[in-house]
Amino acid sequence: MFTSGEIVKIVESGCHLQSLVAFVKEDGTLVMTDGNLHDPKHATKTTCRLISRFPVTRIFVKLVREMNAITFSEVQTGMRLLVLVPSHSHFDEKNYEVAKLVTVAIKDADFKVVFDQDGEEIKLSEAYDIHEKATPTINGYLTEKGLKVIHQIYP
C-alpha cells in the first residue's frame, strides 16, 4: 500500500524512474507530482521518509482541480489533505508552484477555521481530501511547532 508523500520507483516498458506520489486515488492509481498516473503494480517503495511539500506542474494542478475542494462540514481532525499553494506573484494568484500535504489538527466550529499540524490555517478552497488518515501522537495531531502556535491563538 502506498501513501502520499512517498518516493517510489516506477518500472514501465523497460523504463525506470523515481517519482513522488502526491496522492493515491480511491481505485489505487498513483497520482504523481508531475500529473502522471501509474498503476501501483509497476511501483516499488524506495524510502520511508515522507515529503510534505513539493513543486507541481500545470497538468497536476488541472488534475487536482477536477476533484472537489473539501468543505468545512466534511473536515475532520486527523484527515490528510492536499493543499495547493499559490505562487508569491501578485499578478496571478491561480499560478500554483507548490502543493503541501497536511494533517487537520484542529477544527474550530465557532470561527469556521481549520488548522494543520503546524498551527497554520488551512484555506479550504485550496484543500482536497486524499482519503488518508494520520495517526495521532502524544500531542494529538499537532507538532511541537503547532502546539506553540495554537497556544498563542488560544491562550
The pLDDT tens digits of the residues spanning 10-28 come to 988 778 888 899 999 989 9
- Per CATH, which fold does 61-153 belong to? SH3 type barrels. (2.30.30)
- What is the reported pLDDT for 46? 86
pLDDT tens by residue, 103-155: 999 999 999 999 999 999 999 999 999 999 999 999 999 999 999 999 999 98
- What is the reported pLDDT for 95? 67
Arithmetic mean of pLDDT over the chain? 90
Distances (CA, A) of 116 to 11, 16, 40, 119: 35, 35, 29, 5
Q: Give the mean pLDDT of 42-55.
A: 86
Give the residue, 134 or 50, on which the prediction is more confident.
Answer: 134
Is residue 92's pLDDT more than 80? no
> How do the domains of the chain map onto residue ranges?
7-51, 61-153
Q: Give the mean pLDDT of 69-89.
A: 91
- What is the reported pLDDT for 86? 80
Contact criterion met (CB below 8 Å) for 21 and 36: no
- What is the reported pLDDT for 26? 87
CA–CA distance, 56 with 74 (Å, rounded to integer): 25
- What is the reported pLDDT for 45? 87
- What is the reported pLDDT for 89? 58
Residue 149, CB-side half-sphere exposure with 13 Å CA sphere: 14
